[in-house]
Structure 1
């Protein structure tokens, strides 16, 4: 299905007071088979996966597996995949973890923003961009919420990110909304929630929340940054690397 030419201003006004379910229903009707959803199988991932698959049961679910996730994340992913009958599409870097470490070292240990960005590009951004292209995606459902990061505070219900319409059904939800939805539908948090984690990604770059943390994303990436790059516009350098398949 070709990407529709939408007026973002008109769509944002239309969806301004819509429920999360209504936003997904609109997206399914508007984008058809071009609609996908991404998941990290993180702390609250069951919410968006349940919301989306109740409306579009066979929607392509993109999971970028970095190869460095905790064992509990892989187990949680298996549990949700079976329970929700997910049409899961797993994407990974062309570089195995062993090969990456041999060529570039353990980039997360450098405590350097450029090293972390390089890691995120190889293990997350490139596989995600490849997934969107191979699945002929024109629109992408993502479970971002405004209270999570400074960047996300500025987001709208629908944005244009590169060649994709990006749709955020639960953008305005807070932690209580998440809890209520999970409880109502008897859905689980990620197992690390019981260990004090409010956000979880790779085992080497996630930790439980502390009393002096100002934001849940302070617990990720050693506090050096809040976003891994999946939900940010691509820089010219990154776009060039993708075009040349230069990892």
Structure 2
């Protein structure tokens, strides 16, 4: 049994999910922070829709840890947006994590793993760094939404993810809800969104989305891959 399992509060996850079915996102965020005081972090890609969840977190507790993964393949615009958004929202605890340089030297010395084996690339550049980033926490908050892709239509508000509890406050939000919220709160937009990028990950594996496509259709286009691996319930 690891340290998190020894200290994990006895939370009835299905019951908590059921209780929060009609709750607004801010209440779900507050429930996460109340259930795991000092043991919960948010994870954000600082992508095209990230401003909504981050703004909500700033309304509940600006000091909430926000974990960001710099894979080494990100668009420069994303790194700039991270800094701009964190400053504009007054988030005081944004933490950036990078891949282990020894692991990169051994497994992706030529920086071409993304084209040869994208799952292995995501593992070394995203999954492993996030596991390290989340090590001190018993729960985490993320911004996945049911409307984003066919693989996400059944996302609950609260779920067990390996040894941690995962909160999805925006699961029921649609695209119109996001746009209305951004406009109502005058949130800055990711600079690449205006160029047709609806979902933004690493530069080599992100393309523009065509009208009518799922928002995540531009991720790993042409490959049998729809997720990076951090939401597969593999103990992260």
Alignment TM-score, normalising by the size of structure 1: 0.87
Aligned to 2:184: 184
Aligned to 1:194: 194
How much has 1:50 moved relative to structure 2?
0.8
Does residue 1:49 correspond to 2:51, yes or no?
Answer: no
Report the secondary structure of 2:66's partner residue.
strand
Shift >4 Å, 4+ stretches: none
Give per-residue Cα distances to partners, 1:140-178, cap 9 Å, x unaligned. 000000011233212211001111100000100000100
How much has 1:216 moved relative to structure 2?
1.8
Structure 2, unpaired ranges of 5+ = none
How much has 1:108 moved relative to structure 2?
2.1
Does residue 1:92 correspond to 2:91, yes or no?
Answer: no
How much has 1:102 moved relative to structure 2?
5.6
Aligned to 1:124: 126
Structure 1, unpaired ranges of 5+ = 243-247
Structure 1 CA distance for aligned equivalents of residues 105 and 167 of structure 2:
35
Aligned to 1:214: 213
Does residue 1:162 correspond to 2:162, yes or no?
Answer: yes
How much has 1:12 moved relative to structure 2?
1.6
Report the secondary structure of 1:32's partner residue.
coil
Q: Describe the shift of the 1:192–1:100 C-alpha distance in structure 2 as closer, same or farther (beyond 3 A).
A: farther
Q: Describe the shift of the 1:9–1:214 C-alpha distance in structure 2 as closer, same or farther (beyond 3 A).
A: same
CA contact (8 A) 1:217 1:223 kept: no
Which structure carries more helix by proportion? 1
